[in-house]
Every structure is written in C-alpha cells, then in structure tokens.
Structure 1
C-alpha cells in the first residue's frame, strides 16, 4: 500500500484531513435483498457516505449503492439476476470468489490504492488469499457464531425437542460447508465479529483474540409509529419460527408469567411445520396470537411493550436494534448478540432459562414505571444504533486489520 490504512484513517479523522480509503467489498448474493443482503447493502452504503471508495463485487444488485466507486456483478445477465441454482450453488459461489480474487489482483496491479478487502462467507477464500499475497488487509464477515458451534448447539436444541434438523438448511451440519468456512477463517487477516457472543465461540476454539475484530450492525433510524399506551401489555416475537430462535422458550416463559393473564403475545414469522405442531399446546393459549409474516416490522414493534428473542445461536440480531429504536424493550438471550445496556434499555437471560425470562415479564407487568423508563431510554439512544454509527466501528476494525498485517510483515522481515 502507498500509505498505511492506519494513517489514512487518522488523516480522515482530522479536521481538513485528506486521503481516501478504498475497500473492495465482496458479497456473493443479491446486494440489498432481504436478510443478509440488507445488512451488506447498509454496510456498503454507509461506507460510501463516510467518504470511502467502495468497489462492490456482488452476485447481483437488488438495491443500488449510490456513489459506489465501481460495481461488478458475477451472477447477473443484462441486468437480471442469475439464480445460484442455475449453475449449482457451490459452483456459483466458487465462480464469484474467483472473479473477486481476480479483481483484487487487477485493481492493485493497475496502480489502484485498494486498502481493504471485505468479504462474506462461502465465497472468499481465494479473494482473501489474493489480499494476503499483496499485503492488503483482508477481513471476513462473521454474521453468526463459529459454524461448528452453530451446528452443535442447534442440533442439541432439535434433539431436546424430539425434532429432526431440516436437511440443507444453513445451520444443519454440513462437513463440506464447515471445511470451506474454516479455510476462510484461516485466510483472513481478521474476522469481523458483531458481538461478544460470536467472539466467545471463536476463542473457545483457540483463535487469537487479536484476530477477532469487534464491529457491529445497526438499523435504519426513522421516526417510529406512535406508541399505544392504552392497550393491554403486549409482547411480540418477530422472526423465523424454528428451534434456533427459541420460540418454545418464549412461549413457556410467557404462559408461566403473570403477563399471560391479561396481556397478549403476538407471534410474527413463518413457523416450521413440525415445530408448530410441537408447539401447538402453547400456541393454543388464549393470550397467544399467531400473526404470520409481516411487511411492517417497525409498526409491529412500536405496538408492543417488549420483544422476546430467547435465541439459541445468533450473530447480532438486527431486530434487537429495531426494537430499541421503536421503544419496544428487548428481553433476549445472551446469544442474541444484542447491543443493550443491561437493565436500562433491555434485559438478557441465559439460553433456555425460562424462569428468568418469566420473572422479567412479571417485573415489567407489575412495575409499569420501570417498563416506561426502559422504553424511553432505548429510544433515546437511537442514533447510537444506526448504520452510520456501526460504520465507525467497522472502520476501526479495518484499522486493527491493517496493524495485524503490518505486524506480520515486520515479523517476517
């Protein structure tokens, strides 16, 4: 690099500072599509808004990033998305990785000042290796816990419920996928972990803490719909209805709490058929309403007092950010990766701890002033939960990756 990333970041932070940081951002799916595509779009978009030259390499683009330095699609033809299944999922991901790796080499060999390679799972080993050859910090997004950990805990949860994991799903054990991800972990200079819950699963497997680059996610901060303070105490679950998300724990705690006597628990999201059958007695409780999928999550959150997410395994659930912005107090497991002030803007419990979650519900029902204070405190920190604020953490993580690369280069000299 013609100028170290650390120095560039320092100069950009100074009044009147100069220097332009450039990032090759590789995302092997539809950028801007729901799910991780939305996370990736917000990262790229806010990097551009922060003054970074962002070179996007995406399978396709569902939502353009205005002001990107360049955009290359790897699975699109004449502006239309080519489904991964048309080539075969693994082959499509390998092709994306090969194209992105080639661009790392070409852009840099042409004299460009690319300073960071930021890549996503399952299509990044060659891209990260190309960055390593050129002495460029290559960071790999880690949207969930270590994959081996995810496989283990999700399988145990299914077994405890007497259910079979769904074949082919991202959290069902797959040795080939695990091998791919482990090769990417090794190729990266640093791993972008969005929560301490994620970091701990890597530390438990012997990873050097220096390589775990803490950053975080965010949410779109808009004026939430007006809150209705006259209705009954309302809890909401918003997400995929599967054992991994812990809806069974939420239902057990809800029905055991005083809140279920006069309150209501609204369940939003697609429920797996076998899981829904297992939960049928709890879902039949008169205070529980199954609402299906919603296209207005912020309206749902603004209509509720608390959000329940006793997840078993997670990276850093975006709904926990959105809930706070909407003034809906998150009651979540420690595995949810939530960015909250304990007891001030939300509450946590250990995975599967029905008693603690029920007690938290009892507290907030019996002491509405505590609930109101937490809701107000959560909304007051909305700007801290924005994607713009998250980008500052990501830029700091890039700086840490640059220091790791420089330290490795100095040690080898």
Structure 2
C-alpha cells in the first residue's frame, strides 16, 4: 500500500491519474495535461496512465500508455470507441496494482475496473465530472434542440446514449467521490439524489498571458465576443437575441468565433446578418480576441465550467454568462450572471455596460485582479484539497456564480 501522508501537511502524495484519450490534445486532453503538470510542479508523484501522449509532462513518477505500439498511437477508431475505453480501463487497473498510489483519479467511461481495483486495496478513487449529470445534459440539450426544431448533433457527447449513461452511473456509484468543477454541475447531482458528502468541489484554470494592460474604459462603443462551438448548447441564439435587443448593437460590434454546426446556423438566420455581428469561424489566438473585447457573451444552457470564462477574466474581458456556464466568478464583482435562457436580463446587462463606462471599468479591474486565483496552479491546489479533505461543496477561494 502506498503512503498515507497528507498533502495538507505539506507532504507529497502519490496519484495514479488515468486519462483514456490523447493526453495534451485540444479539449479535455488540455485540461488533463494542466492538472497533471501542476500536480507534478507542486511536488506530487503522478503515475500517468493514458492512451497516448500528444504533449509530454516532465517529472512524472511513471508513464504508461495503453494504446501505443513502438511509440505510435493507435486511434480509438481502430478498436472502436467502447472497446478502446474498456481496454484502457483494464490496463489502468493493472498499473494500479503495481504502483499502489495514495489516490486514484479517473475520467469518464473508462473507470469501472480501475475503481474496483482501487477499492479492493482501500485506495480512494476520484471520478472527474467535466459536465453536468449526463442525464441532465441529454435532457437539457434535447429540449432546447427540439424547441429550435433541431435534433442533437449526431455523434455529439450530448446526444442521448443509454449505454453510455449506464456506464457512467456505475462509475458514479462506485467511486469514492465525484470531482465537480462548479455549482452548476453539483446541483444536477444533488437534484438526482446524490449525497452531498460524495461531491468534492475543485476548479479548472487557465494560463494567463503574463502582465496584462488594458486601456481605461472611455465610453467607446461596446465590443463583445463569443468563443465556443456554434451550437444550441452554447446558447449563441440567446446571445444574439440579447445583443440585437440592446442599445449596444447600434454602435458596437459582436464577433463570433467557433466551429459551426451547420443545422444550427440555419436556425440563427437573419440574426447573423445584422451589421454589428460578424461570424469569424475558428481562431488560433482566443486570448488575443478576448483581450481586445470588452465583454464575453456565453449564455450556455449546459456546461461543466467553461475554460473561456477563466481566460476572459485573466485578460480583463468581462464575462456576461448564464448560471449554467459554471463560471468561477461573483456576480457584479468580476462579471454579470443571468438566469439560463433569460434574454431580457442579458440584454439589460449589455445596456448597463454600454451606457456606463464606470461600471465596465470596475468589473474589468476586478476580473483582472481575480486572475491569480484562476491559474492552473490554483486549480491543482484545489484538486489536492479535494483528494485529501473531508467532503464539502465549497473549497477555500471558491466563489459561487449562481446569484444573479
């Protein structure tokens, strides 16, 4: 059995971190990379088990890859997604038996056997929950898609899949605790009868670009930006309706960045044709786009804890977000939060900031000052506390974002 030393006492702990996708790749691979990188930087022993490595981390205690042969990655599609995930799970369970870590950190759909192996050895297991309860995600996205006359995007992780849901339910039921990154996520589990004691709050983070200097707010027309997939789940239709209903659209600009769901694009119709709105597609420099904008619009209907809301604050772009966005901020301090789907309130927030440079400046300064609490290093500290502390929905430094 591994050491039982507590990280809260300033000592290192041993962590088996199982990630069943390409480690360091865009998306959740980037989240996993930052978690592991900062755990290692903080002095902990991380035994990484992953399918393949797109970006390495220096200083790992060990590295095991489940879907690489002679240094070459075997894509999930070769074996099929489900078989690849099951293979990785069995592989990670075998590595666990050799390493005997203090704690085990697992990701969705590839964790059952690893959790069982940990439980047999009295090792606590922590299951990452990057989005809301999967049944909630299915229901919310399906309802909004139906309201818009759409079907959930084929192949999307939010298209209803009873087999996937059953797998996740078994993982949730057997893990020692669930790692929830926001109140929005925690609430969906509590609403379905999960005991609060099994939910451990942590956070995600961002990599600030260094010292950020923003010009004083001078009353120029408001500039807004949307960064995310152009699909119903991200709520761009709400953002556009609010923007066009606000005085900000008369002189301001609203730039939309992200991969486009073509069926959803047809629903948006004339809203994108307004002269103040520009659809820009993907951007290679999201931080630069945020740094040039006054506000971020992200009225998501379902989200875990959107990384773009961390990035926006770090560069002084004021987040205007829904309660479902999972943003780590305080309403009317670091940004403005509206009830999910409430276009009128979002429009009022746009009018407020368009007409009050003083308010925009106050929020911008507070968002920038909040930046040091939003780093991946701070996220790793909250993760270690989640591993080692008694259950609680609030971790020191966490600020609720659901009090609009």
TM range (shorter): over 0.9
Identify which range, 48-57 or 219-228, moves more after superposition. 219-228
Q: Give unpaired runs (5+ residues) of structure 1.
A: 13-18, 109-113, 404-413
Within 5 Å, give how 1:334-413 maps onto structure 2.
334-400=323-389
| Distance in 1, Cα, partners of 2:151 & 2:131 | 21
SS at match of 2:193: coil
Label 1:225 to 1:298 Cα distance change in 2 as closer, same or farther (>3 A): farther
Shift of 1:82: 1.2
- Which of 150, 155, 158 is 2:142 aligned to? 155
Shift of 1:225: 6.3
SS at match of 2:389: helix
Shift of 1:213: 0.3
Match status 1:309 vs 2:298: yes
Shift of 1:232: 3.3
Shift of 1:166: 1.6
| Distance in 1, Cα, partners of 2:286 & 2:208 | 13
| Distance in 2, Cα, partners of 1:206 & 1:225 | 44
Shift of 1:401: 6.6
Shift of 1:263: 0.2
Q: Which residue of 2 aligns with 1:91?
A: 83
| Distance in 2, Cα, partners of 1:238 & 1:2 | 43
Shift of 1:3: 4.7
SS at match of 1:23: strand
Shift of 1:382: 1.1
8 A Cα contact 1:219 1:318, kept in partner:
yes
8 A Cα contact 2:24 2:54, kept in partner:
yes
SS at match of 2:332: coil
8 A Cα contact 1:146 1:202, kept in partner:
yes
Q: Which residue of 2 aligns with 1:268?
A: 257
Match status 1:69 vs 2:56: no
Deviation digits for residues 26-83 of structure 1, max 9, x if unmatched?
0000111110000000000000011100000011111101101000111122222211
Deviation digits for residues 114-159 of structure 1, max 9, x if unmatched?
1000000010111011111110010000000000000000000101
Q: Which residue of 2 aligns with 1:4?
A: 4
Q: Give unpaired runs (5+ residues) of structure 2.
A: 393-404
Within 5 Å, give how 1:286-325 maps onto structure 2.
286-325=275-314
8 A Cα contact 2:199 2:391, kept in partner:
no
Deviation digits for residues 266-305 of structure 1, max 9, x if unmatched?
0000110011011021001110000110010000000100
| Distance in 2, Cα, partners of 1:347 & 1:78 | 51
| Distance in 1, Cα, partners of 2:232 & 2:84 | 30
Aligned length: 390
8 A Cα contact 1:225 1:299, kept in partner:
no
Label 1:321 to 1:34 Cα distance change in 2 as closer, same or farther (>3 A): same
- Which of 71, 76, 82 is 2:74 aligned to? 82
| Distance in 1, Cα, partners of 2:184 & 2:8 | 30
Within 5 Å, give how 1:168-207 maps onto structure 2.
168-207=155-194
With structure 1 as the length reference, what TM-score do the two structures score?
A: 0.92
SS at match of 1:241: coil
| Distance in 2, Cα, partners of 1:402 & 1:153 | 28
Deviation digits for residues 359-395 of structure 1, max 9, x if unmatched?
0000001101110111111111211000111111101
With structure 2 as the length reference, what TM-score do the two structures score?
A: 0.94
Shift of 1:227: 4.0
Label 1:328 to 1:99 Cα distance change in 2 as closer, same or farther (>3 A): same
